[in-house]
Structure 1
Amino acid sequence: MKFGEYLKNRRTEIGWTQPDAAAKAGIEQSYLSKLETGKSFPSEDVYQRLVEAFSLDTEAMVAALYPAELDRLREIEAVRKHLLEREHNTRSTTRRWLYAGLAALVAGGALVGLAQIERGGAATHYTYQSYGVVRPGESDDIFDDNPARADEQTISIPDMRGPAYTETVPEGRRMWHLVGANAVLVPAKFAWALIPGFALIIGGLGCFFISRRRP
């Protein structure tokens, strides 16, 4: 909105004619006409008269006028004060959006990086079989001679330990023999971090966009 239009609307709202308003403000009617048509802008002294006569709210007026109009009124102290305050608030808000965007990008990048540490995929697992525990003093063929002593167990492990290996257990020792190998799908350990990571990155970019769009 233009200043003259704002002033005329205020006069009409009060219910004054142009001569009445000029008399209340202590200025010539012709000068008030120039103000309302945008042919002139008030000085500091005239603006103070208009504020008193029209009960103008400078803050509300600054919020309503076009930027080009405000530039013409910047020399008026009350207007300049509100403009500087608004510019300061705008810069502060912009900085907050930028900091929030930066924090979101850093956190999102960290989560996406975390998800890449152990990405999972196919891995080979080796199957070993044991017939039972060989107690101290018994031969390795104990289960051939005494099948009732057998306690078969089968395990699948990710590391290859050779065709056979021996494991010490409280009752004695257990002999493990390789009987096969198969590929298994290992899930990514930190796959859950991808979704919040990308969400934070998108949110961070959104914060930067908002900070650039603010007036």
Structure 2
Amino acid sequence: MTLGDYLKQQRTEQTLSQAELAEKMGVEQSYLSKLEAERSLPSAEILTAWLTALELELDDVLAHLDRAYLHAKLARIPSIDAWLRQQKVQSLVRERIRLYAAVLCIAVAVPMFYLGYTKLLFDESIYEYESPGVVLPGEPQDIFALAPQLQNGSLSERHQAHVDILKRRDPKIRLLQDYRGAQFSQAIPEAPNDGFTRTYYLEKTHQRARWPNTLLQALGLFIGTAGAVLLMALLRKPKR
């Protein structure tokens, strides 16, 4: 569609005759006929009068016309040439923004995927600690492990002491996400005083999948793919 065709269509939709529109523009009807048939190109002043008479904006009109046609036929009109230059600048700015966005996506996606894959941010280790029983006030924290070496007296006395320790055994297991060393002691809140404790020993280390790591990997993969696709599209885009 040409400029003349489009503005003629707008005149028709506004139910204006050529004579009426020509009068509003301040030109001869024959000249307006040439403009609509594009046998003559308007000057910047005539184009402004034409658009004003139809109550149209230049941006809205040119947006409906093919860009190649504008460059080939109408670029000699200063206002249209300025519009084309402005559109080119805006296009370059948008392209630069898309390029930065693509690079940013890739830059964010790589460490995001790496953190999820290596579990550096959200450790998946579960530490299993076991306490053999309650340590009484004044006893060594590792009384259950050292009991055989701490006993004195006859064989029967040592045997009885060993049996007593076995009777006191009350194993308790705790699964923790934070590592507390090979062993740690903890007071028993429900005990009558602070002298009653439990000593927990590290028995095993388990691995348990955590959804934040899976989410980081999925987001990293998605964002990285989107950035790569956008970057490839920009690189393949023909230069104008």
TM-score by length of 1: 0.62
Partner of 1:149: 165
1:115 counterpart letter in structure 2: G
Per the alignment, in what secondary structure is the counterpart of residue 42 of structure 1? coil
Take 1:137 and 1:168, find their aligned partners in 2: how far apart are those partners? 21
| Other structure's SS at 2:118 match | coil
- Asked if the contact 1:25–1:52 (Cα under 8 Å) also holds between the matched residues in 2, the reply is no
- For residues 128-139 of structure 1, the aligned pairs below 5 Å read 132-134=144-146, 137-138=150-151
The alpha carbon displacement at 1:3 in A equals 0.7
Q: Aligned Cα RMSD in Å?
A: 4.8
1:191 & 1:52 partners in 2: Cα distance? Answer: 60
Change (3 A) 1:143 1:131: farther
Alpha-carbon shift at residue 79 of structure 1 (Å): 1.6
Offset of residue 54 of structure 1 = 4.2
Unaligned runs of 5+ in 2: 133-141, 175-182, 186-194
Aligned in 2, Cα 1:40/1:68: closer, same or farther, shift over 3 Å?
farther
For 1:67, the aligned partner's letter is R
Structure 1 residues 17 and 144, CA gap change in structure 2 (3 angstroms): same
Deviations 1:60-109 (A, max 9, x none): 11111111332121222222222222332232233223322322222111
**How much does 1:199 deviate?**
2.7
Contact 1:26 1:49 (C-alpha < 8 Å) held by counterparts: no
Separation in 1, partners of 2:80, 2:59: 8
Partner of 2:4: 4
Question: 1:56, CA displacement in angstroms?
Answer: 4.3
List gaps (5 residues or longer) in structure 1. Answer: 157-166
Tell me, in whole angstroms, the C-alpha distance in 2 between the residues paired with 1:168 and 1:11. Answer: 89
**Counterpart in 2 of 1:100?**
101
How far does residue 5 in structure 1 lie from its aligned partner after superposition?
0.8
Identical columns (%): 20
CA distance in 2, matches of 1:155, 1:14: 85
Q: What one-letter code is carried by the residue in structure 2 that aligns with 1:4?
A: G
Indicate if the aligned counterparts of 1:109 and 1:197 stay in contact, CA closer than 8 A. Answer: yes
Is this contact kept in 1: 2:116–2:216, CA < 8 A?
yes
| 1:117–1:9 CA distance, 2 compared to 1 (3 A) | same
Paired residues of 1:3 and 1:36 also in contact (CA < 8 A): yes
Letter in 1 for 2:207: V
Does the C-alpha gap of structure 1 residues 19 and 198 become closer, same or farther in structure 2, counting only changes over 3 Å? same
Conserved 8 A contact 1:3-1:69: no
Structure 1 204/94 Cα, relative in aligned 2: closer, same or farther at 3 Å?
A: same
Structure-2-length-normalised TM-score: 0.57
Structure 1 residues 144 and 97, CA gap change in structure 2 (3 angstroms): farther
- Do the aligned residues in 2 keep the contact of 1:132 with 1:149 (CA within 8 Å)? yes
- Partner deviation per Cα, 1:104-146 (whole Å, 9 max, x = no partner): 222111111112325999xxx9x9x99924357436x986453
